[in-house]
Structure 1
Amino acid sequence: MSTVADKLAKKSTHRSGGKQVRLRLVYVDFWSAVKLSFLGAVSLAIVTMVSFFLIYMVIQATGLLTKGDEFVMSVTDNQVSLEKIFGLSQVMAFGAVVSILNLIVFTVLGAVIAGLYNLAVKITGGLLIGFTSN
């Protein structure tokens, strides 16, 4: 059975002095995948919170929120104020809720993907990876 790696190795005219190793990935540790996906989700949560804060500050600095508030108050006879609804504390609380939900979803998704890969390995035999040392 000829694979793509074998065909590419035959086509290569330049022979490296390094040793080539072909390894097969047959198992992904469940807890390692969960920890890695959790750390990735934590970094994404930090980025989400910082971006919510920066976007709010830009919108407030440009006066967009004030203009929108004036428009909404003129339409609703001073009944609804956007600055009360979309204050910094409300925006950051919404960002925290979004970050926590993303944290849970990404961690569970990492665990599910690791479990599905371990099940698929039983059928396919794993992922063939080629390495070389230069």
Structure 2
Amino acid sequence: MTAITDRLRAKSQTEPQTAAQIRLRVVHLGVWTTTKLAFLIGVIVGIITIVVVYLLWQTLHGSGIFDQIDALLASDQIGSGKTNVASILTLGRAMQVAVVLAVLDVVVISVVGAVAAICYNVATKLVGGLFFGFSPR
């Protein structure tokens, strides 16, 4: 075992190792693959939107902001006093709006991902693509 180790050590000391730099060029993006990735990103953004709206509504409701707005609108200086913000901005309505926005996010982000891939593919035919260089250091 030590003889093999000694021979490998001697060989590595006599021959200098040259590090090769790798240069890659990205010349094509798969439109379907990019659309699938954009769809997954859209789903994640949609879930985040729903969670943020829920947490924001709970925070505003818990801190009593809706009651303060009702009291402000009930004063003689601003409104007629017939408006009840708490009945208009319910959790159900807020979540309905959040779900609609989440679905729109998924659709828009998927379409934008596909269009971006097509535009990149057209641009690489004109320019030549992106270069990436990797070195072992």
TM-score (norm 2): 0.80
Q: Which moved more, 1:49-58 or 1:123-132?
A: 123-132
User: Hey, what's the Cα distance between the residues in 1 that align with 2:67 and 2:108?
Assistant: 35
1:56 paired residue number: 57
1:125 paired residue number: 128
Q: Which moved more, 1:70-79 or 1:30-39?
A: 70-79
Unaligned runs of 5+ in 2: 1-16
Distance 1:50 1:24, change over 3 A: same
Say which one has the larger Rg.
Answer: 2
User: Hey, what's the Cα distance between the residues in 2 that align with 1:118 and 1:76?
Assistant: 57
1:110 paired residue number: 113
- Cα RMSD of the aligned pairs, angstroms, is 1.7
Equivalent AA in structure 1 for residue 106 of structure 2: L
1:19 paired residue number: 20
User: Hey, what's the Cα distance between the residues in 1 that align with 2:72 and 2:32?
Assistant: 53
For 1:32-51, what aligned pairs fall within 5 Å after superposition?
A: 32-51=33-52
User: Hey, what's the Cα distance between the residues in 2 that align with 1:26 and 1:102?
Assistant: 28
User: Hey, what's the Cα distance between the residues in 1 that align with 2:102 and 2:21?
Assistant: 43
2:82 paired residue number: 79
Deviation at 1:115, TM superposition (A): 0.2
Secondary structure (helix, strand or coil) at the match of 2:55 reads helix
Equivalent AA in structure 2 for residue 49 of structure 1: I
Unaligned runs of 5+ in 1: 1-15
User: Hey, what's the Cα distance between the residues in 1 that align with 2:18 and 2:105?
Assistant: 47
Deviation at 1:100, TM superposition (A): 1.1
User: Hey, what's the Cα distance between the residues in 1 that align with 2:93 and 2:73?
Assistant: 18
2:70 paired residue number: 69
